[in-house]
Structure 1
């Protein structure tokens, strides 16, 4: 059974003719050659390491945010070997602010896999790439197509959005099984000669002209292929069921200060913010001394953190996972976003107090 026959039998979607597929590829790639974001630093060459780093960073993070992080990261760790051998504290510091820190830890494990299993050479087969720690079908497809020119689909939310509108597909894109449908679609229409450019062109369209908010289909280079645009059903696609709301959790951040030193706590490995340093976070407090509060949302948790300042606590004995750290030493420690928010509250409190003197 061909891919087209499989698409029709399993999903009830009738694929375009070969001539229409060829016309679609040309329209898309002609636009990409004129409008593609070739200025992005990870598109300067086909280095699989740089492509890999960029794709991991771009998960849950906007391009404009990623660019400075990417440039600093590849400067600090210019090769697979450098990443494999990196000190964890330095590695986490380089990732500070990007969130989802398991991503960079998985990258280091994958780099170590490449060093031991592939003699330091990035594998060039999809079945090997996907075996690396932290690499799923999307990232594997992106690396295989962009670095090695293999006609592999790289299906993310942008791709599903574009193709759901092209073919008026109402399947729930929040369900993992739906990805298989879009992978099959892309595998049929992907340009065999320029698969990397094809995948990147779809992604570029999906982030702008065919974006999730205020799409501009009339400006799209593939509007004549877009069934939803032609039929006036753009607002119906893609369909995505609502995710569960994050569980609310109340916490208290204790800013314990002795002179210029602050009590810092290393978070347990494996939990939220694992191995990062923060002011101690506890469920309850006996003293108020409240100086501010903030919210921080994870994918499955929503923290409401009240910040308390305890000064000159000379009788405070640090626990095993705590230490006193001078403010001037903060740059040597990896701080996650909640810690940065707590520190900003302390800074504003001190500034206000100083101005009132």
Structure 2
């Protein structure tokens, strides 16, 4: 491969064809950092409005460091993988305290921050600071597996080293920001999974897989994650004051510290889920709920499990304050529900509830 010509072709294409993305307006390390955390496991089109809102709420690193976690979770609501934003805020607080609010510009220092792995460190250092560090994500591995005909399994963690070494060999040290972003952009726009758009590729002449006609079978990825189904019965419970019962999830584990509607894991048919929910609710809160009609069925997939949810409408009267506090539950007015950060599955529950109420009102 003619490396200087490869760099020139790749960077020239990127400078002409790059998408107009809000985090590319400047090379502010804080903005680059936030965008890269958001883009992990999330599509660019999805991220854009979240990034814009997040920057409106927390325009500086210091404001994010000082923000209440409830507000941060609300700003992140809908993006999922909430541990990302908790780690981000924790790391930002460390930067504010230990580095006078300046994001570290060395690999050693930045890699010590919570939630900053090799990819995020490389992205910040190369894009914001112009350091010749590799930023290897799925797009980059796919692009380089084809260009360099690398047939190692990208699902294996050790394979990342192969691609990091490849980037170090290829990277343009005078245009590190454009080079790394160009590799990512190429993977997102042209060198896509399955059948890439090779006829539009600016570096097709440098691609060994294209020359061999094997681009569609790369990259090699053999690892398949198994998921398990978790059957759940949930309910939107209201009281005589038309308040809604919500509870806060534990501070550790899946969807930590987010709010949700009461729900229980229930291994039973839909017909018996109501009764099982009623029993568990009564055992936990010492109150018997009245469960009404079925509201919605929701399947929500995580990387390792699938929530298979059956959701009902319900009524309940006063619950002991001590019991409510011990289970981190509270009654809130319907108009206040959207002020709390809920996981996507429970946002869908609330939308279904609002739609049902709207339809009922229109039919009167």
Settle same-fold status: TM greater than 0.5.
yes
Once residues 196 and 83 of structure 2 are traced to their aligned partners in structure 1, the CA distance between those partners, rounded to angstroms, is 33
Q: Cα offset for 1:281?
A: 1.3
**1:37-52 alignment to 2 at 5 Å?**
37=19, 39-52=20-33
Once residues 317 and 211 of structure 2 are traced to their aligned partners in structure 1, the CA distance between those partners, rounded to angstroms, is 72
1:263 aligns with 2:259: no
What is the aligned partner in structure 1 of residue 350 from structure 2? 343
Once residues 318 and 144 of structure 2 are traced to their aligned partners in structure 1, the CA distance between those partners, rounded to angstroms, is 63
Q: Cα offset for 1:356?
A: 4.6
Which ranges in structure 1 are unaligned for 5 or more consecutive residues?
1-15
Q: Cα offset for 1:351?
A: 3.4
What is the aligned partner in structure 2 of residue 295 from structure 1? 299
Q: Cα offset for 1:352?
A: 3.9
Once residues 108 and 261 of structure 1 are traced to their aligned partners in structure 2, the CA distance between those partners, rounded to angstroms, is 32
What is the aligned partner in structure 2 of residue 306 from structure 1? 310
Once residues 233 and 226 of structure 2 are traced to their aligned partners in structure 1, the CA distance between those partners, rounded to angstroms, is 22
What is the aligned partner in structure 1 of residue 283 from structure 2? none
Task: Please list every run of at least 4 consecutive aligned residues from structure 1 whose deviation after the TM superposition is greater than 6 angstroms.
Answer: none
CA deviation string 1:188-226 (max 9, x = no partner): 000010011000001110001101144101110000011
Question: Which shows bigger deviation, 299-308 or 281-290?
Answer: 281-290
- Tell me, yes or no, if the aligned pair for 1:208 and 1:215 is still in contact at 8 Å: no
Q: Cα offset for 1:283?
A: 2.1
- Tell me, yes or no, if the aligned pair for 2:230 and 2:305 is still in contact at 8 Å: yes
What is the aligned partner in structure 2 of residue 28 from structure 1? 10
What is the aligned partner in structure 2 of residue 322 from structure 1? 329
What is the aligned partner in structure 2 of residue 275 from structure 1? 257
Q: Cα offset for 1:315?
A: 4.8
Question: Which shows bigger deviation, 346-355 or 61-70?
Answer: 346-355
1:150 aligns with 2:131: yes
CA deviation string 1:20-39 (max 9, x = no partner): 100100111111121122x2
- Tell me, yes or no, if the aligned pair for 2:14 and 2:182 is still in contact at 8 Å: yes
Root mean square deviation of aligned Cα: 1.4
Q: Cα offset for 1:355?
A: 4.5
Over 3 Å counting, the alpha-carbon distance change for 1:315 and 1:74 in structure 2 is closer
Which ranges in structure 2 are unaligned for 5 or more consecutive residues?
267-273, 279-290
- Tell me, yes or no, if the aligned pair for 1:253 and 1:342 is still in contact at 8 Å: no
Report the secondary structure of 2:128's partner residue. helix
1:332 aligns with 2:339: yes
1:252 aligns with 2:233: yes
Q: Cα offset for 1:145?
A: 0.4
Once residues 26 and 343 of structure 1 are traced to their aligned partners in structure 2, the CA distance between those partners, rounded to angstroms, is 52
**1:1-357 alignment to 2 at 5 Å?**
16=1, 20-37=2-19, 39-258=20-239, 259-284=241-266, 285-286=274-275, 287=278, 289=292, 290-311=294-315, 313-317=316-320, 319-320=324-325, 321-357=328-364
